Homo-oligomer: A and B are copies of this chain.
Amino acid sequence: MFAADATAEDRAGTDVLPAVQALSEQLGHKVVTSRPIREQHANITTYLPNEAPDAVVFAESVEDVQATLAVCRAYGLPVIPFGTGTSLEGHVNAPLGGVSLDLSRMNRILAVHGEDLDCVIEPGVTRKRLNEELRDQGLFFPIDPGADASLGGMVSTRASGTNAVRYGTMKDNVLALKVVLPNGDLITTSRRAKKSSAGYDLTHLFIGAEGTLGVITEITLRLQGIPEAITAGVCPFPSVGDACNSVIETIQSGIPVARIELLDEMQVRACNAYARLGLPETPHLFLEFHGTVAGAREQAERFAEIAAGHGAGTFTWAEKPEDRTRLWQARHDAYWSVLPLRPGAKAVATDVCVPLSRLAECVMETKRDIDETGLIAPIVGHVGDGNFHTTLMVDVTDPADMAKAKGFMTRMVERALAMDGTCTGEHGVGQGKMKYLAAEHGEATLEAMRTLKRAFDPQNIMNPGKIITV
């Protein structure tokens, strides 16, 4: 293996060039080695350096995936599955070189079973395109991480987002997978029946495995019927603590809220500037209720009562579909909206999740830390799940600034872990969070993860240098 910062040129004379040649012989024009394409296939978000692969293979079929793996096995070359490159923790970097296996051309919707509320797709389908295709049939796929990610990538990072509080995360919405294992075998993890007790749960083995155990080539997803009524709106609060305590009480009351998102006052200010929302610049919850007409109204009324008990201001409804779209677009654009807060700086997304009862405490301590450390770091969160993010504006060229940011990020994770939480609610481990896993899981559990990895990928060719080292 090579040093993490070795380039393909550094490795000339090793097995890399013959391996790439062997790939080209088999896959022809689907193999690309130009530097811009290679760099686009490594980390392009956050503070992590871009570590480009030696080549990119644009797979168009299961056979292409198997052919790529066969060559990479023969030459011991890393394989890094790639969807849209929107992951945040360096998941698609190539620290040891190798092949980025781009699955975006495997983007067919193979079947929509409206009667069974499921569909079968290839991994390169993105969530927006899927929902466009489903809309006419009155169906939708609820998981919504913000970015227009590929479903293969969303499976691989166990993604979630704004709707997870009601519909669960990717772990709750995948019925079955087809996966090419490192040894080349194509396996089917389950069938379309809604439940099964027929042996080990291979489906969940690959959900969240970040491409380190195999390459997903087909996904069977659970779908939802588009609700009869959708009601959305925003509600201001005197403080993030009041907003969080409203969330805790809402969830504990069993109100099946579809979305309940926190934006602190700095984030509201940024969204106002970016999307002209015209909101009062205090912490807000953005909400959405799904149900029958009467049911959605009842949910909203119950929430309003709870919020009033925590000092909430006037609830503003987004009655029309276009107002609702504008609202959620503003929420999804939170990342872009913060960039003008510190021109030239990079936006670094953090991601912790704690048990709901600790949410208010964790958010408030984090806010105090931001203030004391003197950071520009708006807070947003899928707070119904106890999950929140800060978007740190960091000058990555300034070592002092980076050190300050890293210290804050570590404290944020330590705080979540001390509250029985996790270092990542939805972004995944990638490269960025490997260092926290021992504290989160303990050494025996990490060793069990290594046992899994070694069993399925004894050559360590699948996305090495991510999640755990073996």
Seen from chain A, the residues whose Cβ lies within 8 Å of a Cβ on chain B are 113-118, 157-160, 164, 168-169, 171-172, 181, 185-205, 207-209, 213, 224-225, 227, 248, 251-254, 291-292, 294-295, 298, 353-357, 385-387, 416-417, 420-429, 433, 436-437, 440-442, 444-449, 451-456, 467-468
Most B-side CB within 10 Å, residue of A436, A440, A456:
A440
Most B-side CB within 10 Å, residue of A193, A386, A452:
A193
Query: In angstroms, how far is the closest chain B Cβ from the Cβ of A386?
Result: 6
Q: With A115-B357, A225-B254 in contact, is A205–B201 under 8 Å at CB?
A: yes
Q: With A205-B204, A227-B254, A440-B198 in contact, is A192–B449 under 8 Å at CB?
A: no
Instruction: Tell me whether B187 and A448 are in contact (CB under 8 A).
Output: yes
Bound Cα distance A237, B201 (Å)? 37
Query: In angstroms, how far is the closest chain B Cβ from the Cβ of A170?
Result: 9
Q: With A201-B204, A455-B454 in contact, is A386–B421 under 8 Å at CB?
A: no
With a cutoff of 8 Å between Cβ atoms, the chain B residues found around residue A433 in the complex are: 198
With a cutoff of 8 Å between Cβ atoms, the chain B residues found around residue A185 in the complex are: 444, 447-448
Instruction: For the complex of A and B, list the 3 residue pairs with the smallest distance between their C-beta atoms, beginning with the closest.
Output: A204-B204, A455-B455, A115-B357
Instruction: Tell me whether A225 and B252 are in contact (CB under 8 A).
Output: yes
Instruction: Tell me whether B252 and A441 are in contact (CB under 8 A).
Output: no
Q: With A186-B444, A188-B445, A199-B449 in contact, is A193–B294 under 8 Å at CB?
A: no
Instruction: Tell me whether A201 and B207 are in contact (CB under 8 A).
Output: yes
Bound Cα distance A417, B190 (Å)? 11
Q: With A191-B440, A356-B115 in contact, is A198–B295 under 8 Å at CB?
A: no
With a cutoff of 8 Å between Cβ atoms, the chain B residues found around residue A207 in the complex are: 201
Query: In angstroms, how far is the closest chain B Cβ from the Cβ of A141?
Result: 15
* A117 nearest CB neighbor, chain B only: B252
With a cutoff of 8 Å between Cβ atoms, the chain B residues found around residue A445 in the complex are: 187-189, 202
Bound Cα distance A201, B445 (Å)? 11
Instruction: Tell me whether B198 and A437 are in contact (CB under 8 A).
Output: yes
Bound Cα distance A429, B207 (Å)? 23
With a cutoff of 8 Å between Cβ atoms, the chain B residues found around residue A421 in the complex are: 191-193
Instruction: Tell me whether A422 and B193 are in contact (CB under 8 A).
Output: yes
Q: With A199-B468, A424-B198 in contact, is A353–B193 under 8 Å at CB?
A: yes
Query: In angstroms, how far is the closest chain B Cβ from the Cβ of A28?
Result: 28
Instruction: From B197, B291, B429, B440, give the contact of A427 (CB < 8 A).
Output: B197
Instruction: Tell me whether A429 and B197 are in contact (CB under 8 A).
Output: yes
Instruction: Tell me whether A357 and B195 are in contact (CB under 8 A).
Output: no
* A384 nearest CB neighbor, chain B only: B194
